[in-house]
Amino acid sequence: MTLIFAHRGSSKYAPENTMAAFRKALEQHADGIELDVQLTKDKIPVIIHDESLKRTTGVKGLVGEYTYDEIRCLDAGKWFSAKFKYERIPSLEEFLIWMKPTTLKLNIEFKNNILPYYGMEKIVYDLVQEHGLEDRLIYSSFNHYSLKEMKKFDPNIDIAPLYSSGLYEPWNYVKSLPAESAHPHWRTLNQFMLNGFKEHEIRVRPYTINDPKRMKWLFENKIDAIITDVPDIAFDVRSGLHA
């Protein structure tokens, strides 16, 4: 059965990459969560999409220019709606502690394709190990060097290169890393691509699938997972097919 990953949590209904969005995803029966990780000035992994704090907190500057204690004082919810005004930028550790008693899987996206965060891979790897969650993890990034780095710690780690343009025979590229999964933008997919991935036994989890017709097509093709802002809709579409 195709798994449903909530993109930045259930980000249509709650501010992206906050605990409110993650709780909502669980409530809406998502199988997993995709979230974005960066490092603070004092090298604490935190969950936020943009390198700049401006859009989601209103504060000037970059994530890496603030310490974790400073980041914790910012409001990451009120830009979305007054109802969420006390939401914080979560630390990855806070998230891992919350997810542990659930059955959720986790896709950590290293957000280091624009600004580098030296050492982030090892810091995150150690944290996941410390909490005993390695079996539930997928690591993705647009920075494929970063994914290669993860394989050095453990060759069995599931790494998934993200890409958004028309790569030629992407399964060959994925295998060359080597990786066993791909996270393509949905626009790059057609039946030829789905067949190619299947034939080469590469797991595919495209982003960001919010259209029910597209969901249905992907579910019917039995792809491994979709990444969506609306896990509730995906759950209904999938339940309809398995009814």
Residues that bind ligand G3P (CB under 6 A): 7, 34, 36, 49, 109, 140, 162, 183, 207, 227
Calculate Rg over the CA atoms of the chain: 17
Burial of 62 (0-12, 13-18, 19+ CB in 10 A): middle
Nearer to Mg ion, 109 or 121 (CB): 109
Nearer to ligand G3P, 1 or 114 (CB): 114
Query: Which stretch in 28-36, 55-63, 114-122, 191-199 sits in contact with Mg ion by CB under 5 A?
Result: 28-36
User: Position 208: which residue type?
Assistant: T
Contact 120, 37 (CB under 8 A): yes
Does the CA dihedral 182-185-186-188 come out positive or negative? negative
Nearer to ligand G3P, 70 or 210 (CB): 210
Among 36, 87, 149, 224, binds Mg ion (CB under 5 A): 36
Locate tokens 């008693």: which residue?
101
Query: Which stretch in 103-111, 117-125, 198-206, 210-218 sits in contact with Mg ion by CB under 5 A?
Result: 103-111
Nearer to Mg ion, 109 or 158 (CB): 109
Which residue's CB atom is positioned nearest to Mg ion? 109
Question: What token pair was written down for 97?
Answer: 């502690």
Which of ligand G3P, Mg ion, none does residue 144 bind to, with CB < 5 to 8 Å depending on kind? none
Instruction: Indicate whether 109 belongs to the interface with Mg ion (CB under 5 A).
Output: yes
Instruction: Indicate whether 224 belongs to the interface with Mg ion (CB under 5 A).
Output: no
Angle, in degrees to the nearest 10, between helices 19-27 and 92-99 = 20
Nearer to ligand G3P, 18 or 140 (CB): 140
- Kindly give, in sequence order, each residue whose CB lies less than 8 Å from that of residue 71, ignoring residues fewer than 6 positions away: 40, 46, 53, 63, 89
Residue 229's nearest CA partner among 35, 78, 83, 63 is: 35
Which of Mg ion, ligand G3P, none does residue 183 bind to, with CB < 5 to 8 Å depending on kind? ligand G3P
- Kindly give, in sequence order, each residue whose CB lies less than 8 Å from that of residue 128, ignoring residues fewer than 6 positions away: 96, 108, 134, 137
Please give the positions annotated as active site.
7, 49
Give contact residues for Mg ion (rule: CB under 5 A): 36, 109
